[in-house]
Amino acid sequence: MLNVALCFHVHQPYRLGHIRVYDRTACGEIFDDALNRAMVERVTRVCYLPAGELFCSLIERYGPDFKIALSITGTVVEQLRDWAPEAREQFRKLAGTGSLEFIGETYYHSLFSLFDREEFVEQVHMHLEMLKDEYDLTPQVFRNTELLYDDRVSDYLSAMGQFRVVLCEDAAAGCAISGRPCRSYNERHMLLPRNHVLTDDIAFRFQDREWSEYPLTAEKFTARLERYYEEGGHDHDRFLLLYMDYETLGEHILSDSGIFQFFEHLAEIILLHDSMRFVWPSEVRSCNMETLEKLFVKHPVSWADSKKDHGAWLSSDLQRNAMGTLLEMVSRIRSQGDADLLETVRRLSSSDHFYCMFPWKGDADAEVHRHFSSYGSPEDAYVRYLNALTVLEQHLE
C-alpha cells in the first residue's frame, strides 16, 4: 500500500511597518497593522475560505477515508482571530470533523532550535496550548519551522515527551531512501521525510509551461505516484509525505489555473485506487521502530531553497547581525520578564523576517525570496528589523 500523507502548512507573519526609532515609537506600532490585515483578508478570500470549503466537502463526501494534516502557526491564528473570524471558524470546523490531524511546531515559526533550547521549548509549548484552546487537539507529530531538522531538535523534543513523530525534509535522510520512515539518532522519534520531488510537482511546477508534464492533471500525478510506488518494490509500508504551504491553493497558485479541481480529483482517484490510501503522518507509528534506519543529522536540513539548509535565513551579513541582535534582545527581555515586550520580540523571531533579508539578485532561490518579501529590498527589511528591535530595547530601558 502507498500511504499518502497530505500535509499543509498555514502561516502568516507579522510584517513590519516604517519604524522611526528617533520618535519613541510605541511597541504596538512596530507592525504594519493595515498591511497585515490586508494580507490576511486577501489570503482568506483567495485561499483559506475556498480551500476550507473544498476539504469540508471532500470530508463530507468520503468520510474518514479522506485525511489531511495541518500545521498552523500561532501568528496566523492570532491574525485570523483579529481580522478574519470567518476563516478562523472554518479551521475550527475542519478540526471538528475528525478528519484532520494537527501538527505541532513553534508558535512563532522561529529558528530557535538552532540557538536557544529554552526559547524553542517554550514556543513549542505555547503552540501546544494554542492547539488545545483553539481546536481541543493534542498533536503527536512535530514539524520544525520550514522542516528545519538536526539531531538537536529530537533531543529538545524528547524532554517534552509529547511527540512520537517528527517530519523532516528528504534531503536529511538522503533522498534515496525517502518513502521509508527513519529513527532519530537517539531513537526517541520516528522521522518521516517529505518527498520534495512529488511535492514540488504540485507546489512549484503546476504552472510551469516548460515542464514536460504541463499541464499537470490528477491522472498524470497519480501515474507519477504509481511509478514512485513501483520503484520501492511494492514495499508494504511505503509512505509518501506531500507537504506544502496551504497558500499553494489559490494564493501561490491562482484558482483559475485549476489547482482546486486538481486536489478534488486527486482525492477521488487515490480513494478509488487499489494500492493507495490517505493516512495521517502519525500513522507512521504502525511501522516497527526496530527495523528503521537510524538517522544522524549533524547539520541542519530544511525544505528552503536549493541548498536545503539554514542559509535561507542565516547566510548573509544582514541576516547574521539581525539574528545576533535578536538573540541578545530575547535573553534580555526574558530575564526582565515584561510580558508585552516578550510577546513582541517573539513576533519578531518569525523566520520570515530573516527570509526577507536574503539577497534578491542571483539565482532562482533569490527570485523566490524576492517574491515572498513585502519590503522594498533586503536592506529595507533589515533596517526596519533592527529598528524594531531597538524600539523594544528603548522600552526595556
Partner 1 sequence: MPRAASFRVLTLTWEFPPLIVGGLGMACYGLVRAMLEMGVQVVLVLPSRKPVFFELSDVSHADQLDPAILDPDLKRGYGMARFGNTLDRFRFLEVLCPPVAYSPGALTPGMYRSQIESILPHVDFDVIHAHDWLTYEAGLYGKGVTGKPLVCHVHSTEYDRACGAGDQRIHQVERMGLETADRVVTVSRFTADRVRDCYSIDPGRIRVVHNAYFMEYPEPSRGRLFREPVVLFMGRMTCQKGPDIFLEVARRVLIRHRMVRFLMAGEGDMMDRLVHRSAHSSLGNRVLFTGFLNREGVSRILAVSDILLAPSITDPFNITVLEAMSRGLVAVVSRRSGVTEVVRHILTADYWDVEDMAGMILSLLKNPGKRRRMGELAKQEAERIHWHDRALKMRELYGELVC
- Rule CB under 8 A: is residue 152 a binding residue for partner 1? no
Contact (CB, 8 A) for 257 and 214: no
- Rule CB under 8 A: is residue 318 a binding residue for partner 1? yes
Separation of alpha carbons 152 and 232, rounded Å: 30
Contact (CB, 8 A) for 209 and 184: no
* 3-state class (DSSP) for residue 4: strand
Computed on alpha carbons and rounded to an integer, the radius of gyration of the chain in Å comes to 21
Q: Which is nearer to partner 1, 207 or 325 (CB)?
A: 325
Stretch that binds partner 1, among 18-26, 142-150, 177-185, 256-264 (CB under 8 A): 18-26
In this structure, which amino acid lies at residue 275?
A: S
In this structure, which amino acid lies at residue 305?
A: D
Looking at 255, 325, 331, 374, which residue binds partner 1 (CB under 8 A)?
325
Q: Which three cell numbers stand for residue 195?
A: 518527498
Separation of alpha carbons 121 and 104, rounded Å: 11
- The footprint of partner 1 on this chain (CB under 8 A) covers a number of residues equal to 26
Q: Is 46 exposed, middle or buried (0-12, 13-18, 19+ CB in 10 A)?
A: middle
Name 78's Cβ contacts closer than 8 Å, sequence gap at least 6: none
* 3-state class (DSSP) for residue 242: strand
Q: Which is nearer to partner 1, 51 or 318 (CB)?
A: 318
- Rule CB under 8 A: is residue 394 a binding residue for partner 1? yes
Separation of alpha carbons 229 and 235, rounded Å: 8
* 3-state class (DSSP) for residue 72: strand
- Rule CB under 8 A: is residue 27 a binding residue for partner 1? no
- Rule CB under 8 A: is residue 382 a binding residue for partner 1? yes
What is the closest distance, in whole angstroms, from the C-beta atom of residue 13 to partner 1 in the complex?
20
What is the closest distance, in whole angstroms, from the C-beta atom of residue 318 to partner 1 in the complex?
5
Separation of alpha carbons 107 and 122, rounded Å: 9
Stretch that binds partner 1, among 254-262, 282-290, 293-301, 324-332 (CB under 8 A): 324-332
- Rule CB under 8 A: is residue 336 a binding residue for partner 1? no
Quick note: the x/- pattern for partner 1 over 266-305, rule CB under 8 A, is ----------------------------------------
Q: Which is nearer to partner 1, 242 or 357 (CB)?
A: 357
Looking at 317, 335, 337, 339, which residue binds partner 1 (CB under 8 A)?
317
Stretch that binds partner 1, among 28-36, 92-100, 290-298, 321-329 (CB under 8 A): 321-329
Between the CA of residue 284 and those of 141, 151, 270, 295, what are the distances in Å? Answer: 10, 20, 18, 16
Catalytic residues: 146
Looking at 137, 175, 177, 386, which residue binds partner 1 (CB under 8 A)?
386
**Residue 118 Cα to chain centre, angstroms:** 21
- Rule CB under 8 A: is residue 324 a binding residue for partner 1? yes
What is the closest distance, in whole angstroms, from the C-beta atom of residue 332 to partner 1 in the complex?
12
Q: Which residue's C-alpha cell is 504594519?
A: 32
Can you list the pairs that 212-218 forms with residues at least 24 positions away whose Cβ atoms lie under 8 Å?
215/258, 216/262, 217/262, 217/265, 218/262, 218/265, 218/266, 218/268, 218/269
Looking at 133, 210, 290, 397, which residue binds partner 1 (CB under 8 A)?
397
Looking at 93, 320, 332, 370, which residue binds partner 1 (CB under 8 A)?
320
What is the closest distance, in whole angstroms, from the C-beta atom of residue 110 to partner 1 in the complex?
19
Looking at 21, 27, 46, 366, which residue binds partner 1 (CB under 8 A)?
21
Enclosing H/E stretch for 84: none
Between the CA of residue 383 and those of 28, 125, 378, 389, 392, what are the distances in Å? Answer: 18, 31, 9, 10, 15
Sites for partner 1 among residues 359-378 (CB under 8 A):
377
Contact (CB, 8 A) for 175 and 199: no
Separation of alpha carbons 352 and 14, rounded Å: 9
- Rule CB under 8 A: is residue 72 a binding residue for partner 1? no
- Rule CB under 8 A: is residue 383 a binding residue for partner 1? yes
Stretch that binds partner 1, among 20-28, 85-93, 302-310, 346-354 (CB under 8 A): 20-28
What is the closest distance, in whole angstroms, from the C-beta atom of residue 383 to partner 1 in the complex?
5
Q: Which is nearer to partner 1, 20 or 220 (CB)?
A: 20
Residues that bind partner 1 (CB under 8 A): 18, 20-24, 316-318, 320-322, 324-325, 328, 377, 379, 382-383, 386-387, 389-390, 393-394, 397
